[in-house]
C-alpha cells in the first residue's frame, strides 16, 4: 500500500485490475472467509449476527487501511493532501469491502430463513475457499501456466483456504 495517491483524471476512475486493487480484493476475500470461520464458531451467534460482525469488522479494516495509507501519504508528501487525493485512497481500498459482500449476502439468507444458520455459514466459508481457488486459476491463466501448473496453482490456493478452515477446527 505504498503506492502514491494519484487522483484520477476528472470523470475517470482507475481500472479495477491494478495490482494494488486486486491485492485488496484478494485480501478482503481471505479476511472475510477468516472472519466467517471465527464468528461462526460462537454457537450463540445467528447467521445474521455473524453477517453483521463480519461486515462491521470488514469496515473497520477498510477504515484502518485507508487511515494508515493516508498517514503514510501525508508523511511522504510533506504537505496536506487534497480532497481528491484522499478520495482516491478511499476508492483504492474499496475492493477490500466489496469482497465482504458475497459472504454477508449468503449469511443474510440464513438470517431471513432461506437457509439454516449452519448452511449459510458453511456456504459462506466454502464460497471463500472457492473464490481463492478461482483467484489462483485466474492468475495461472494470465501467467499462461500449463494445465498441470493451473492444477498446482488451484491446489495451493485451495490448501490456503482449507488451512483457514482447519485453523477453526484446531482452535476450537
All three cell numbers of 21 = 486493487
pLDDT at 13 over 60: no
Angstrom distance (rounded) from CA 52 to CA 123: 16
pLDDT digits (tens, 9 = 90+) for 89-133: 999 999 999 999 999 999 999 999 999 999 999 999 999 999 999
pLDDT digits (tens, 9 = 90+) for 15-49: 556 788 888 999 999 999 999 998 998 889 999 99
Instruction: Tell the residue number behind the cell numbers 490456503, with chain if given.
Output: 160
Mean pLDDT of 147-154: 91
Mean pLDDT of 132-142: 89
What pTM value is reported for the model?
A: 0.82
Predicted confidence band of residue 147 (pLDDT cuts 50, 70, 90) = very high
- With 0-12 / 13-18 / 19 or more C-beta atoms within 10 angstroms meaning exposed / middle / buried, residue 92 is buried
Which residues contact residue 160 at a Cβ distance below 8 angstroms, ignoring those fewer than 6 apart?
Answer: 30, 132
Share of the chain above pLDDT 90, in %: 63
Angstrom distance (rounded) from CA 99 to CA 140: 20
Rg (CA), the chain: 18
- With 0-12 / 13-18 / 19 or more C-beta atoms within 10 angstroms meaning exposed / middle / buried, residue 89 is buried
- Residue 169: the pLDDT is 64
- Residue 83: the pLDDT is 93
Amino acid at each position: 500500500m505504498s503506492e502514491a495517491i494519484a487522483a484520477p483524471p476528472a470523470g475517470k476512475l482507475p481500472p479495477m485490475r491494478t495490482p494494488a486493487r486486486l491485492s485488496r480484493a484478494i485480501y478482503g476475500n481471505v479476511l472475510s472467509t477468516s472472519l466467517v470461520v471465527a464468528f461462526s464458531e460462537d454457537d450463540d451467534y445467528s447467521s445474521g449476527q455473524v453477517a453483521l460482525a463480519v461486515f462491521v469488522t470488514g469496515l473497520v479494516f477498510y477504515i484502518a487501511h485507508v487511515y494508515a495509507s493516508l498517514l503514510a501519504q501525508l508523511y511522504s508528501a510533506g504537505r496536506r493532501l487534497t480532497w481528491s487525493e484522499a478520495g482516491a485512497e478511499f476508492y483504492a481500498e474499496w475492493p477490500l469491502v466489496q469482497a465482504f459482500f458475497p459472504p454477508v449476502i449468503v449469511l443474510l439468507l440464513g438470517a431471513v430463513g432461506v437457509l439454516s444458520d449452519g448452511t449459510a455459514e458453511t456456504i459462506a466459508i466454502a464460497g471463500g475457499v472457492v473464490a481463492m481457488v478461482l483467484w489462483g486459476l485466474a492468475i495461472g491463466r494470465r501467467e499462461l501456466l500449463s494445465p498441470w501448473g493451473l492444477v498446482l496453482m488451484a491446489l495451493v490456493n485451495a490448501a490456503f483456504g482449507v488451512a483457514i478452515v482447519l485453523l477453526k477446527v484446531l482452535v476450537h
